[in-house]
Amino acid sequence: MKTENSTCQTVQPLVPLCLRHAILGMVAGTLALSLTLGSALAQSSDPIRVGAVAPKTGALAGGAAVTFWPNIALWEQEVNADGGLLMEDGTRRPVQIIEYDDRTDPSETIRSVQRLANNDNADFIIAPYGTGLALAAAPIFDRLGYPMINVSAITDQVDTMTSRYDGVFFTLGETTPLAQGIAEQMVELRDAGEVGNRVAMVNVADAFGIELAQAAGVIFEQNGFDVVYNRSYPPTIQDVSPVMSSVIDANPDVFVAFSYPPDTFALTEAAQIQDLQVDAFYTAVATPFPSYRERFGDSINGVFGVGGVNPDSERFIEYEQAHIEVAGQGPDYWASAVTYASLEVLAQAIEGVGAPDRDAVTEYIKNNPFDTVMGEWVFEDQRINNYWTVGQWQDGKFHGIRATGDLEGAVEPIRKEGW
Amino acid sequence: MTRKEVIYAVLVLAAFAVLAFIPSLPNSAAVLSLVIPITMYTVLATSWALFSGPTHYISLATAAFYGVGAYMMAPALEVMPYWMVLPIAALSGALLAALVGAMTLRLSGVYFVIFTLGLAEMVRQVITWYQNNFAGTRGNYVFVDINDAQIYWQLLALALLVYLVGWLINRSRLGFAIRIIGNDELVARHSGINTARAKILLFMVSGAFAAVVGAVMTPRFVYIEPAMAFNPEVSFLVVIMALLGGVHRLWGPLVGAIPFALTWEVIASNFPAQTVLLMGIAFLLVVYYIPSGVAGIMEKVYFRARQQRREVSHG
């Protein structure tokens, strides 16, 4: 016991006691003020309260800043510019967004959803961003009885999820069809004599990359492709030029990379610098980002990527303009528009029911078609089955060229002519 | 056991018995989403302090052990029942700690800190490499019917266990040896203590607890990604909470974890966009004003009160 006493005595106050109390008092005062302000605001108006939980810090903050948050802001503005959502009694109620940062930590995602439901009395909660964070939150959405329209949750376990959770929906697609899309596209192009038979595959060694690479590899081999190179690289890779050198040494006709944002940029850059000459070049996530076009300009004409949109549709052009106005940046050509579409579904369902009644909204989503920026959406078994799997940069726009169902606006792939 | 110890034991058991009824409170789901992280960090920080308190080795390996436990749950569930996975997770955590301990506990000071920080990343890379080349991604999903209340009870039981183990170690030869090592390793070695063995044993206990916590938490997240399982933030938070509470007492980390989690809750719900910034400021204030931890302050107050009482009665 003596030791503890001595450690205490070594602590000398460096700041006068009164100053310390003043600082603590200020901190406590600020906290108390913000608490009262928060509750006062909540009572003064009658908006529909919509919670949003996604990373603002942590590993996924960058992705959320492109795909998630701008669409929330845009949706809030568009809905409220019309006066709000039309209720059964003919009145309009604006939407009020309550935002939380989950710091890319699933515990915090769960906690924030709880907080939104219990403390903030949110009428609805937008599905979190990122596969892991969204799936972790699904049980709590289910228990609290909130419908959950997922976008950035790509999984092969959609069947298990939808059979366990009644109000959980999926919109962006499943892992295997996304990989099959590009593999089947290459089979078609080869059979038409457009591309050669030698394929080089690389993938980021993370759940997403591994799952896609395996699904695609099976199809390439079944169709008699010669897989001349197949390697993974770590997600934290700094220098991809050795990878690109090995790819070039293998002399492929087709290059397929199941990559994440940083390496999508790095691989494309390395391919240009080291002059990889292939008939088809594919990179995955972030290929449809406007920043990809800004970085590489016209040289990416003919580059294939994951996902896609119909950039010539009236709805998309309108959406793109509004997005630029609100966010100061364009939407990406895949998940951004789907995120916005998921919010349109929520708005149309609430108006269809005519009240912020969560159970009725869930039922409405299951049984009605929706008119969205992605075209008409009908949920079958709580999921959208028509989605873009492969797109291609053509004259500065990223066009969907292949989809799981019949989607309007699919274009023919063009041939890639050098860099 | 002395009479005082019996009283303590009864009090602790009574406290746990009361805590076990939290899930039957009205609106328990909201309370649970707050107390589950608190209980989790209490177990992690207490087991961390078992080793790092007396030895002064600051370990940033908690995320590595936690991740190993979390990651083995999904594939293990395919071949064995849930309850069997927990002891196996403990064993894996202990084995990893033994391996790492044997290699690094001869290092001292900052070298050990850096190595343990790198460990989580290394284990994550090894697991990813294995999955990529052999296993595929099957086994990232955990679909079991274990609800938040059951997770909470398991964590509560773990907390009880970590206190029991800590108390037993403190009064054992190992605990005595480790205190001597902490004070002066050279003296310990010259007194005939096998310092490497003692340190490794304690590190294994600490690692085993962290691995079991990881396994217990997994059903809550449904889907396990390496980035989440091996999140370095876990390692840092554990150290911060343990230091805030004070590591020289078994119950120190508890009084660190609770105010830390509550402060975080207040900040996160009122300033959702500046959480990390404000938490950093809060931590600076803590280090500045209460360097000996909450436990240190509580003891100081207690001793002062006792002294005054004595003066009064003698006066």
3-state helix vs strand vs coil in chain B, percent to 5: 80, 0, 20
Question: Which residues of chain B make contact with A3, given a CB cutoff of 8 A?
Answer: 248
Residue A28 has pLDDT above 80, yes or no: no
Question: Which residues of chain B make contact with A106, given a CB cutoff of 8 A?
Answer: 220-221, 228
Segment A221-232, tens digit of pLDDT: 999 999 999 998
A309 touching B, CB under 8 A?
no
As a whole number, mean pLDDT of residues B262-279 equals: 79
Task: Please name the member of A7, A101, A136 whose beta carbon is closest to the beta carbon of B273.
Answer: A101
Task: Please name the member of B223, B276, B285 whose beta carbon is closest to the beta carbon of A103.
Answer: B276
Task: Please name the member of B27, B223, B292 whose beta carbon is closest to the beta carbon of A132.
Answer: B223
Segment A352-369, tens digit of pLDDT: 999 999 999 999 999 999
For chain A, give the percent of residues with pLDDT over 70: 89
**Helical residues (DSSP H) of A165-206, grouped into ranges:** 175-191
Q: What residues 224-253 of chain A have any CB closer than 8 A to a CB of chain B?
A: 232, 234-235
How far is Cα of residue A68 from the mean position of the Cα atoms in its chain?
7
Q: Is residue A51 within 8 Å of A124, Cβ to Cβ?
A: yes
Q: Given pLDDT bands bounded at 50, 70 and 90, which one contains residue A13?
A: very low
* Average of per-residue pLDDT values in chain B: 87
Cβ distance of B220 and A144 shorter than 8 Å:
no
Tell which residue, B257, B258, B259, B278, has the closest CA to residue B269.
B278
Cβ distance of A101 and B220 shorter than 8 Å:
no
Residue A26 has pLDDT above 90, yes or no: no
Q: Is residue B69 within 8 Å of B214, Cβ to Cβ?
A: yes
Cβ distance of B275 and A101 shorter than 8 Å:
yes
Rounded to an integer, what distance in angstroms lies between the CA atom of residue A124 and that of residue A49? 7
As a whole number, mean pLDDT of residues A290-300 equals: 93
Question: Which residues of chain B make contact with A34, given a CB cutoff of 8 A?
Answer: 270-271
What is the CB neighbour count within 10 angstroms for residue A383?
A: 19
Task: Please name the member of A4, A114, A210 whose beta carbon is closest to the beta carbon of B132.
Answer: A210
Residues 6+ apart with CB under 8 A from B153: B20, B23
Specify the domain boundaries for CATH 3.40.50.2300 within chain A. Answer: 46-174+312-387, 176-311+389-403
What was the pLDDT predicted at A305?
A: 96
Q: What is the chain A residue with the closest CA to B247?
A: A4
Rounded to an integer, what distance in angstroms lies between the CA atom of residue A305 and that of residue A361? 35
The token pair at B92 is 């894996």
Q: Given pLDDT bands bounded at 50, 70 and 90, which one contains residue A16?
A: very low
What is the CB neighbour count within 10 angstroms for residue A215?
A: 22
Residue B250 has pLDDT above 60, yes or no: yes
Identify each DSSP E strand in A205-253 by its residue range.
226-233
First vs last C-alpha separation in chain A: 74
Cβ distance of A8 and B131 shorter than 8 Å:
no
Rounded to an integer, what distance in angstroms lies between the CA atom of residue B226 and that of residue B124? 6
Task: Please give the tally of structural domains in chain B.
Answer: 1
B275 touching A, CB under 8 A?
yes
What was the pLDDT predicted at A2?
A: 38
What was the pLDDT predicted at B45?
A: 94
Residue A44 has pLDDT above 80, yes or no: no
How far is Cα of residue B68 from the mean position of the Cα atoms in its chain?
15
* Rounded alpha-carbon distances, angstroms, from residue B227 to A220, A385, B60, B296: 30, 29, 16, 36
What was the pLDDT predicted at A156?
A: 82
Q: Given pLDDT bands bounded at 50, 70 and 90, which one contains residue B67?
A: very high
Segment A223-256, tens digit of pLDDT: 999 999 999 888 778 899 999 999 999 999 999 9
What was the pLDDT predicted at B140?
A: 74
Residue B315 has pLDDT above 70, yes or no: no
What was the pLDDT predicted at A43?
A: 38
Rounded to an integer, what distance in angstroms lies between the CA atom of residue A77 and that of residue A97? 10
The token pair at A133 is 């964070």
What was the pLDDT predicted at A239?
A: 93
What is the CB neighbour count within 10 angstroms for residue A191?
A: 10
Q: What is the chain B residue with the closest CA to A211?
A: B137
Q: What residues 90-149 of chain A have any CB closer than 8 A to a CB of chain B?
A: 99-101, 103-108, 110-112, 114-115, 117-119, 131-132, 135-136, 138-140, 143-144
As a whole number, mean pLDDT of residues A292-302 equals: 94
A3 touching B, CB under 8 A?
yes
As a whole number, mean pLDDT of residues A175-185 equals: 92
Q: Which of A68-77, A157-166, A215-224, B231-240 has the lowest mean pLDDT?
A: B231-240
What was the pLDDT predicted at B291?
A: 75
Tell which residue, B30, B270, B37, has the closest CA to residue A117.
B30
Residues 6+ apart with CB under 8 A from A351: A85, A86, A87
Q: What residues 61-80 of chain A have any CB closer than 8 A to a CB of chain B?
A: none
Residue A35 has pLDDT above 70, yes or no: no
Q: How many helices (H) and strands (E) does chain B have?
A: 14, 0
Nearest CA distance, B128 vs chain A (angstrom): 6
Q: Given pLDDT bands bounded at 50, 70 and 90, which one contains residue A5?
A: very low
* Rounded alpha-carbon distances, angstroms, from residue A380 to A162, A178, A334: 11, 18, 21
What was the pLDDT predicted at B1?
A: 66
B268 touching A, CB under 8 A?
yes
Q: Given pLDDT bands bounded at 50, 70 and 90, which one contains residue B136?
A: low
Question: Which residues of chain B make contact with A99, given a CB cutoff of 8 A?
Answer: 272-273
Nearest CA distance, B154 vs chain A (angstrom): 17
Unique residue bearing structure tokens 């009020």: A96
The token pair at A212 is 């896609």
As a whole number, mean pLDDT of residues A381-387 equals: 94
A207 touching B, CB under 8 A?
yes
Q: Given pLDDT bands bounded at 50, 70 and 90, which one contains residue A11?
A: very low
The token pair at A404 is 């799981």
Which domain CATH number covers B19? Answer: 1.10.3470
Which domain range does residue B136 map to? 3-314
What was the pLDDT predicted at A247?
A: 96
B245 three-class SS:
helix
Among A14-18, A183-187, B308-312, the range with the most confident prediction by mean pLDDT is A183-187
* Average of per-residue pLDDT values in chain A: 87
First vs last C-alpha separation in chain B: 34
For chain B, give the percent of residues with pLDDT over 70: 97
Unique residue bearing structure tokens 């990416």: A300
Rounded to an integer, what distance in angstroms lies between the CA atom of residue B101 and that of residue B112? 10
B125 touching A, CB under 8 A?
yes
Q: Given pLDDT bands bounded at 50, 70 and 90, which one contains residue B135?
A: low
Question: Which residues of chain B make contact with A206, given a CB cutoff of 8 A?
Answer: 128, 225-227
Cβ distance of B270 and A155 shorter than 8 Å:
no
Nearest CA distance, B265 vs chain A (angstrom): 9
Topology, domain A46-174+312-387: Rossmann fold (3.40.50)
Looking at domain A176-311+389-403, which of 2.40.50.100, 2.60.40.1930, 3.40.50.300, 3.40.50.2300 is its CATH number? 3.40.50.2300
Nearest CA distance, B63 vs chain A (angstrom): 13
> What does DSSP assign to residue A151?
S
Cβ distance of B222 and A234 shorter than 8 Å:
no
Task: Please name the member of A23, A114, A205 whose beta carbon is closest to the beta carbon of B29.
Answer: A114
As a whole number, mean pLDDT of residues A43-63 equals: 83
Q: Which of A215-219, B96-100, B169-173, B298-302 has the lowest mean pLDDT?
A: B298-302
Between A156 and A85, residue with greater pLDDT? A85
B16 touching A, CB under 8 A?
no
How far is Cα of residue A332 from the mean position of the Cα atoms in its chain?
10
Question: Which residues of chain A make contact with B288, given a CB cutoff of 8 A?
Answer: 14
Segment A66-110, tens digit of pLDDT: 999 999 999 999 999 999 999 999 999 999 999 999 888 888 898
Q: Given pLDDT bands bounded at 50, 70 and 90, which one contains residue A39?
A: very low
As a whole number, mean pLDDT of residues A127-150 equals: 92
